[in-house]
Structure 1
Amino acid sequence: MWSGLCAPNEGDDRMDRRMFLRKFIDLGKKAAFLHLLAGCTNLKTSASQTAEEAPPSPFKDYSLRELAQEKLHHGDDRFVNPFSNKEHGNMLRVLHWKLFSQNQFRSYYDQEQVVPVSIDWEPIRDHGNLSVTFVKHASVMIKDQDQYILLDPVFSEIFQFIKDFSPLEFDVREIPRPDHILISHGHYDHLDSRSLAALGRDTHVISPLGYDDIFADLKMNNRTQLDWFGTFEDGKREIIFLPCDHWTMRNPLEGPNTSLWGSYLLKTASGATIYLSADTAYFDRFQEIGREFSIDLAIINLGAYEPRWFMAGSHMNPSDTVQAFKELGAARLMVTHWGTFRLGDEPVYFPPMEIKREMEKEGLSDRLVHLNHGETLFL
């Protein structure tokens, strides 16, 4: 009798609790995302500062290899960025950006379009040498002879409140199973658990230090962790994990940099060398990387770079990207990290337009490779 009288209220209470939990989880995700974007508090660069004017690294007397060997990026309970004194994860700066900063690009947003992504995998499978496919956002599939290497797979929306302008038109199961997945860092637009789960537990994952808990939860036990200048070799190709000027965070309660971040260099079995910048600010070590490695193709992340006062400590803008490309001495340049999520003020379609203009100004148009989502460069 008691339970019968109380059943409707109990049901309402359960529904209210579920609604509360959903809202609480959604709020937590929003907070995590805002922390993901949180800028730097001690940024010495101004909004108008160019790459050439960026301050030198605090450890400028150390080579990159010496920095890595001395483990100057290892702190007591987290990793540190030896290339700058920038502090990330400041929510007040995020709120200032989102609530009070003037957005000079807002009038262009009505020109943004959702462009679904389709990929014809058959020519890629049939190609016996080297190919590079721009899947979406920062996800790139490299086929090197008989193996597939996939960088930062993110196949769908990362948060419900962030629009996906490049939804996949095909089932993820159509993607050739990668032999190696490369993870550059832990920000949610680069390390997505749902996308990883769709690729199979047995897939080999190469990641920076500090992500064991995520891959253990996914039961992806076939994995290799790399510190800066750590390498993975399979007898035909070599994958080198390189330093860059960035940061990472997934849990705001833990704070930033409990895990490592970095770039990759792939010495392919096909003979070409590909540099994968992943997310990085401009820093004064690109020339050093270019001196050590002969790079045929530099794939640089270009997106979420405005406003400069907020983003310069995390991402390069078009002029920074051209400067980095020249210092790397790479033969060709391709840009990713655009067209999927509007994570900065600039519209999602701006980066390829602006890099084209910057390369033209430098007389480098013939060295720019433009791929839309779903397109493939055959080498």
Structure 2
Amino acid sequence: MPKKRYKNLDDVSNTKTFRELMKWMKERRTKTKDLVSQIPQAEEKEAEKLQRNRNLHSITWIGHSTFFIQLNGLNILTDPVWARRMGTGKRLTDPGIQLGHIPEIDIVLISHGHYDHLDFATIKKVKGDPTFYVPHGLRSAFLRRGYKNVIEANWWDSFDEQEVTMRFVPAQHWTKRTITDTNTSHWGGWVLNPGTSGKSIYFVGDTGYFRGFKEIAEKLSPQIILMPIGAYEPEWFMRDSHINPEDAVTAFAEMNGELFIPMHYGAYRLADDTGPEARERLLAEWERTNMDERKLKMLDIGETLWLE
């Protein structure tokens, strides 16, 4: 029986040809990039406070798409990846907090199955006995490795734990872990709503710019947006899968969010752009569009935002 293949909204395809891949590789050889300068990294100083915390809401950027989030007493990890390498490349910046210093985890949220978002070597070392919320089609990969508390989600599915509502929402992307499993599992983002006790958080996952941002805003009105800004160059190749900094600002404005926290940059060289370039373009677009500077929080790697 053929495996189910998942699709984007409006059937947008991310498929690229071998010829297009070779064109990208040829372009890359003509570019000069500063691969020494990296994005800022905070000193690891919040780990002890995070260990003790049971009441305050917090967001800590570990790096790339990995966040440690505390809501209503729950310890939550998004796309946990502490890997030192990604493919043939070394990690460019250290994870913000050592994995051993992270408290026991209650919930792990996975956006999709690409290796820079789903690293089973990391998951094996996560403390606690978490429940894994994964896109539809990924549960079997967890069960094969002995994990039992695994819940699959389709777009707009909703789950509740300790008065935190978690909704799996659309993204424009694709996924692949082997040569035969392209798009046999889904992809998306997660909106976390702690109810009257705090602000809702939208972990966007991995995506190109798409009309789904407006639909998510209309249905859920997320307040804090954890938005990808990296792996966009060359844009003719990447734009269907990875949003650039300018389009990320557009999406945030369309959603009428309260706070923009950038992610998905500076840890791995997945495309031709660099972490500092992504930050510079984001800041330039924020200024050009006269966005309120109080609505942008560029976390250093390892920095914690304590929420009121």
Please list, as runs of the form range in 1=range in 2, the aligned pairs for 1:137-148 lying within 5 A after superposition.
Answer: 137-148=64-75
Corresponding position of 1:27? none
State the shift of 1:377 in Å: 0.5
Letter in 2 for 1:178: I
When you count helix as a share of all residues, which structure comes out higher? Answer: 1
Q: Deviations over 1:302-328 (max 9, x none)?
A: 110011011101011011001100111
Please list, as runs of the form range in 1=range in 2, the aligned pairs for 1:202-351 lying within 5 A after superposition.
Answer: 202-252=129-179, 254-269=180-195, 270-351=197-278
Letter in 1 for 2:70: K
In structure 2, the CA distance between the partners of 1:92 and 1:222, relative to structure 1 (3 Å rule), is same
State the shift of 1:213 in Å: 2.9
Q: Deviations over 1:241-279 (max 9, x none)?
A: 001111111112x14201000111100253211111110
Corresponding position of 1:153? 80
Corresponding position of 1:371? 299
Corresponding position of 2:107? 180
Count of paired positions: 303
Q: Larger RCO: Structure 1 or Structure 2 (Cα < 8 Å, ≥ 6 residues apart)? A: 2
Kept after mapping to 1: 8 A contact 2:65/2:264: yes
In structure 2, the CA distance between the partners of 1:257 and 1:169, relative to structure 1 (3 Å rule), is closer
CA distance in 2, matches of 1:174, 1:164: 19
CA distance in 2, matches of 1:114, 1:176: 24
In structure 2, the CA distance between the partners of 1:225 and 1:306, relative to structure 1 (3 Å rule), is same
Corresponding position of 1:111? 37
State the shift of 1:186 in Å: 0.5
TM-score w.r.t. structure 1 length? 0.74
Unaligned runs of 5+ in 1: 1-74
Letter in 2 for 1:258: T
CA distance in 2, matches of 1:116, 1:367: 21
Letter in 1 for 2:305: L
CA distance in 1, matches of 2:306, 2:137: 34
Query: What SS class does the counterpart of residue 349 from structure 1 fall into?
Result: helix
Kept after mapping to 2: 8 A contact 1:245/1:283: yes
Unaligned runs of 5+ in 2: none
Kept after mapping to 2: 8 A contact 1:226/1:241: yes
1:190 to 117, 136, 146: 117
In structure 2, the CA distance between the partners of 1:375 and 1:104, relative to structure 1 (3 Å rule), is farther
CA distance in 1, matches of 2:188, 2:136: 10
TM-score w.r.t. structure 2 length? 0.91
Kept after mapping to 1: 8 A contact 2:14/2:174: no
Query: Which structure is larger by alpha-carbon Rg, 1 or 2?
Result: 1
Corresponding position of 2:91? 164
CA distance in 2, matches of 1:268, 1:106: 46
When you count strand as a share of all residues, which structure comes out higher? Answer: 2
Root-mean-square deviation over aligned CA pairs: 2.2
Q: Deviations over 1:116-146 (max 9, x none)?
A: 9735212224442211000011101111131
